[in-house]
Amino acid sequence: MFENSDRSGLEHRLEFRQHDFFHPQPITDANVYFFRQVFHVFDDEQSVQILKAMVPALEKGKPGTTLLINDNIMPEPGTTSLFQEHTTRQNDMLMMYGFGAKQRTQAEFAKLLRAADPRYEMVHVSNRGGMGLIEVHLNTVGSP
């Protein structure tokens, strides 16, 4: 994504690393973990596996470490224009047909997070248009 872009000023603040997110995250001292357009191409079981693999890193990290999910968030039926709802439902069908996956509503993202670990908390959701940003923390208060 940034291969041909100017990275000046980012070298000391941002680090890109390759990682198989189906396995535990090996970096445990990050301030933020970022998933961009990941979950809409995986089914619920695989998405829960990805989120479970983040738990050990979040447990070892600083309290309040942020997990950001930047993905398509489906509107609840009847909450947007018919045109926008039609478009997002068509994209959802394409995800199902092409990948056996789906786009999710905010409530469905919350369900995935709870299934992965009940300590996951959605702290903030920004969803204007189709692409949303979900800020998630792992509540480790009282955890060993």
Cite the active site residues: 40
Residue 7 exposure: Cα atoms within 13 Å on the Cβ side = 11
Q: CA–CA separation, 123 vs 131, rounded Å?
A: 17
β-pairing verdict for 104-105 and 120-127: unpaired
Q: CA–CA separation, 131 vs 36, rounded Å?
A: 10
DSSP state, 97? H
